[in-house]
Amino acid sequence: MALCPTELVKCRLQAMHEMEASGKIASGQRSTAWTVVKTVLKTNGPLGFYQGLTSTIVREVPGYFCFFGAYEVCRSTFAQHMGTDKDGIGILPLMFSGGFGGACLWLVVYPIDCVKSRIQVYSLAGRQEGFMKTFMGIIRTEGFTALYSGLTPTMIRTFPANGALFLAYEFSRKFMMESVGA
């Protein structure tokens, strides 16, 4: 529920320049997050921020299952091969496990994310269609590979970002556990 409004604003900001250039929406002042928020509130009210909610949920549930599952499987595999527990695998295997978890998340959910983003962007132009209609429209007009457009930069970003995320998480968790035990 908290993620959908921010995703909507992000997707609209990313697409606004392109849609203005193509004439699908009127050109106007420089768009900011605040102008998008005001426009959504004015046009659709508070519920307008939840366009694409179903797609967001459909993306998040399996995505985070894969994210945390792959992280734990990878970390456990490192621990087993190194003959240690999961907390003793070291920084690089820990970061690799986080990157691997992030890669698994995006490989599974990228087509869903593509459809979700399209729904949120299309709603900007007043063309609101459901998940399946949008999904089938992409496949029919652009082909299946369009669902993975932009995956390479996402995968390049996900390894260091999620490696650092899990490194920070594990070190914070360890610090807090030691603080409580002291």
pLDDT digits (tens, 9 = 90+) for 2-27: 888 998 888 888 777 666 666 666 66
Residue 25 lies inside a defined structural domain of this protein: no
Q: Phi then psi for 112, rounded to 5 degrees?
A: -65, -40
Residue whose entry in the numeric block shows the structure tokens 């527990």: 85
pLDDT tens-place string over residues 110-167: 998 888 888 877 776 666 678 889 899 999 999 999 999 999 999 999 999 999 999 9
Residue 45 lies inside a defined structural domain of this protein: no
Residue 134 lies inside a defined structural domain of this protein: yes
Residue 3 lies inside a defined structural domain of this protein: no
Question: With contact defined as beta carbons under 8 Å apart, do 127 and 139 qualify?
Answer: no
Domain that holds residue 138: 51-181
What is the C-alpha separation between 182 and 171, in angstroms, rounded? 16
Residue 93 lies inside a defined structural domain of this protein: yes
| Number of domains composing the chain | 1
